[in-house]
Amino acid sequence: MKLHAVTTLKVDTSTLVLFAAQDDKKLSCDVKGTGFEDAFKLLEDAQAEGKFKGASKEALFFRSCNCSGFKNVLAVGLGAKKSLNEEAVRIGAAIAAKTLVKEKVKSAALALQPLRKLTKTAEGAGRAVSEGFVLGAYKYEEMKSKKKDDKETSKSLSDLYLVLKDSPALKKFEKGVHVGLILAEATNFARDLGNAPSNYMTPTILADRAHEAAKGLGIKFKALGKKECQALKMGCFLGVNKGSHEEPRFIVMEYFGGKKSEKPIAFVGKGLTFDTGGISIKPSANLEDMKFDMCGGAAVIATIVAIARLKLKVNVVGLVPSTENMPGGGAIKPGDVLVAMNGKTVEVNNTDAEGRLILADALAYACDHYSPRAIFDAATLTGACVIALGNVFSGFFTQDSKLLKQINESSQSSGERLWQLPLTEEYVDDMKGTYADLSNISSGKGGGSSTGAAFLSQFVTEGTPWAHFDIAPTAYSAGRFAYNPDKGATGVIVRLFSQLAMDL
Ligand code: BES
Ligand code: MN
Ligand code: ZN
């Protein structure tokens, strides 16, 4: 998708998108002097007839109305003017994109003037518009066979013209649009990786896709294979891989855009390309969803790409341990003891608690190789987190008060919703092993997300600020938000992680 910022109404498209908010019982849309007055009149008439209220997620398409120089007009509601924020704009833009796709419209002009007074900053509004639009237009069609006449339809919606006469303000919008576009494209990239079925998304393929995406952006890339991981003594990561015929990959992406002396921020993502549970095998219901168990890893890969494309002056590293979790003759068995890279021994009492095992070595690797100034990990780690939070919030855990404050702030500005869950010593106690240092499952009752986090904490060097994000609730099938697809990977946490890199 191409976004063009323009100061003229003479754009080469036949469809206009006009946002309107609700002001008491009236429609509110700042069109004075824009040339879009007639189009707004159309909306007001529709409102008088009770056909359009300006409510959030509401869209009305006027085909062949020939208004304000456009053949068609798409009216999109933003909800109450009083409570309008960037999220409302993001949702509005997503609804606009989805409607245009449905109506098979290939390009459109979007009037920015109405957004000027409704949002805090032009930059924030620009970012929300491009994020919402590009995220909302997303479709995963890689696995559909190509029909002859598909060429045209799959190309629907390729250009969006953002129209504002006031060119200084447009510059500010444009800045936000640029950032929003990169973040949304990175999110869509993470979605593509997540949606690919496991036979098309093995650890090797994931590494290859990451390598390809890193090219030309100043990202240093390597993918460690089995032998290299053996040399590094990554016993937990390799233990999980034992039942699989697919080679593991430990993906390392470095982008050093900051000062040489500055320690990097490490992003770590769970890259389980398919989780059968292993010998502690999962039941069949919804098992197909376990192709999404690499969504944390996909988000980390996409975050590094976004940061590099934004040319942020920060040092970051992305680490993604990637393997399948399969039952098989070589698979680890309940009770087996694995030795992690940091020397700690782990009793595997449930082979389905594999995410924490592969992350254990990745976190230890991060601390050992980079002494990072902060570590953020993302993982579809526990079903318990889905039970706790549904599919609205991602859960997160941190014991660092500065990081906590930063995460809450960055969550606000990125628009990605988080809920903090507890991580205290008691949960660590629950993870002590009977025969080894640690067990990979809790000896206590409930609190599965917290005990998972507590296990991970044992692989982060003391004093390193660290936060763990359990994205099992939000990584897929969250048609909840208009800018997410109804089904499939959401690309969650890419926007938040990129924001953290901007803010820290
Ligand atoms: N990948 C799953 C977690 C998961 C479950 C993600 C449902 C998305 C939806 C993870 O590897 C897992 O199996 N966790 C176990 C841990 C348990 C054995 C301690 C779980 O949540 O049941
Ligand atoms: Mn599992
Ligand atoms: Zn898993």
Summarised one tens digit per residue, pLDDT across range 32-70 is 999 999 999 999 999 999 999 999 999 999 999 999 999
- Same structural domain, 373 and 257: yes
Q: Are residues 275 and 359 in the same domain?
A: yes
Residue 345 domain-assigned (yes or no)? yes
Average pLDDT over all residues of the chain: 97
Answer yes or no: do 197 and 136 share one domain: no
**Is the predicted pLDDT of residue 174 greater than 70, yes or no?**
yes
Q: Are both 254 and 310 inside the same structural domain?
A: yes
Over residues 333-349, mean pLDDT:
98
pLDDT band, residue 153 (cuts 50/70/90): low
Domain of 494: which CATH number? Answer: 3.40.630.10
Same domain, 98 and 192: no
* Residue 131 sits in the same domain as residue 270: no
Closest-lying ligand 1 atom to the alpha carbon of residue 476: 8
Work out the pLDDT band at 118, boundaries 50, 70, 90: confident
Which residue bears the tokens 């608690």? 353
The Cα–Cα gap between 179 and 181 comes to 5
| Angstrom distance (rounded) from CA 296 to CA 299 | 5
In whole angstroms, what is the distance from residue 433 CA to residue 442 CA? 9
Q: Separation of 275 CA from ligand 2 center, angstroms?
A: 6
Answer yes or no: is 177 within a domain: no
User: Where is the domain boundary, 135, 166, 197?
Assistant: 166
Is residue 126 a part of any domain in this protein?
A: yes
Q: What is the DSSP letter of 413?
A: H
Residue 289 is part of which domain span? 188-503
Which positions are catalytic? 282, 356
Do 407 and 269 share a structural domain?
A: yes
The residue-averaged pLDDT of 487-493 equals: 98
Per-residue pLDDT band for 477 (boundaries 50, 70, 90) equals: confident
**Position 148 in a domain:** no
- Identity of the residue numbered 469: F
In a domain? residue 349: yes
Q: Which residues line ligand 1 (CB under 6 A)?
A: 275, 293, 350, 352-355, 380-384, 386, 441, 448, 472
Shortest-distance Cα residue to atom 22 of ligand 1: 383
Task: Note whether 205 and 122 are same-domain residues.
Answer: no
Q: Does residue 117 surpass a pLDDT of 90?
A: no
Tell whether 153 is covered by a domain: no
The answer to whether residue 217 scores a pLDDT higher than 90 is yes
Residue nearest to atom 17 of ligand 1 (CA): 353
Nearest to 115 by CA among 102, 99, 104, 127: 127
DSSP letter for 144, please: S
Residue 382 and residue 256 share a domain: yes
Q: Could you give the angle at which helices 203-214 and 295-309 cross, rounded to 10 degrees?
A: 10
pLDDT the model gives residue 155: 66
User: 150 in a domain, yes or no?
Assistant: no
Question: Count of domains in the chain?
Answer: 2
pTM: 0.98
Ligand 1 atom having least distance to the Cα of 382? 21
- Which residue CA neighbors atom 8 of ligand 1 most closely? 472
Name residue 127's amino acid.
Answer: R
Tokens of 118: 């409704």
What is residue 369's predicted lDDT score, i.e. its pLDDT?
98
In a domain, 267, yes or no: yes
